[in-house]
Amino acid sequence: YCLAFCEKESGNEGKVHSEEPRQHTCCARHEKMIEVGYGISGEVIQIDAGHCRKLCPRHVSDDPGDASRPAVQKCSSDFHCRARAAKLERVSTLQGVRVIEAIDACDCSPETSCRRESYIHYVHSGTPHQAVVDIGVCIGHCAKDLDCKPVRNNTISAKGPNGDEIYQVVEKCGCAGHCYRMDHMETVLDYSEVTIKEGTNTTDVRPVIRQINVGQCVGTCPGNETETCLLRDKKEPSRCLAGLYSKQHTCTPARFKVHEYR
């Protein structure tokens, strides 16, 4: 810990002069060895996955690659120490290739309301296909019984050794409970506003392309019985005519809004 210092005033031993109390802590990456499988000779394969701690390392060595972002950050005591970037390490084991997220850098993060922050993934590091992907992370505080969670995701692609690879990234965060609705976009072709005249070639007809947020339910419902609806009323889609009930605690839709296109 780095604390404000105190000095005795010269010639006056009974008085102590102190600066405004300010407390800081280190935020640094520390070693964390994990077992990922067995090698071809039967040996246990370990890898340093790392973790971020509010603890000053014994030997401080800053990252020579970026002087503006040292390996050891100095945070205020009310800040969080979180992972800023990670490398995706591919490890070959007897069970196959495993992809391990190894923490690469840590950073100080202030205590604020729920928000999205940058979280970098370095993929295929040290190869011709190395790339930087900001997958994002949700952090911050919410009201009681709510957590900071992704409410809208997206996918991006990056070139890999075997073609394009798809990565899911967080676009938006919000406060949500155990079971909540998450945005999910679907593309539909809408012909309802298209007028087809006599003699028109159907291949020349261009429908309106619409993006519909159909949503998806994510999370769990501890202690509740889950209904899986098999048949719904066409006039009143929220009414289930036939369903299955189980003790599974998955989060399922309770109300629907119908969009009709032709």
pLDDT in tens, 76-118: 878 889 999 999 999 999 989 999 999 999 999 888 899 999 9
In a domain, 196, yes or no: yes
In a domain, 33, yes or no: no
For residue 33, give both structure tokens. Answer: 């060895």
In a domain, 64, yes or no: no
In a domain, 256, yes or no: yes
Q: How many domains does the chain have?
A: 1
Examine the pLDDT at 214 and tell me if it is beyond 80: yes
In a domain, 150, yes or no: no
Record the pTM.
0.68
Q: Which range (3-7, 114-118, 154-158) has the least confidence?
A: 3-7
Examine the pLDDT at 17 and tell me if it is beyond 70: no
Contact yes or no for 89/103 (Cβ under 8 A): no
185 — pLDDT class (breaks 50, 70, 90): confident
255 — pLDDT class (breaks 50, 70, 90): confident
pLDDT, position 223: 65
Exposure of 218 in the CB half-sphere (CA atoms within 13 A): 12
Q: Which range (18-27, 132-141, 204-213, 224-233) has the least confidence?
A: 18-27
Examine the pLDDT at 170 and tell me if it is beyond 90: yes
In a domain, 255, yes or no: yes
Percentage of residues in the chain with pLDDT exceeding 70?
A: 81
In a domain, 183, yes or no: yes
What average pLDDT does range 140-152 have in this prediction? 93
Which phi and psi (to 5°) does residue 161 adopt? -65, -20
Examine the pLDDT at 175 and tell me if it is beyond 60: yes
Tell me the C-alpha distance between 68 and 124, whole Å.
25
| Range(s) of the domain holding residue 239 | 179-261
pLDDT, position 202: 67
Residue 128 neighbours by CB distance under 10 Å: 7
In a domain, 36, yes or no: no
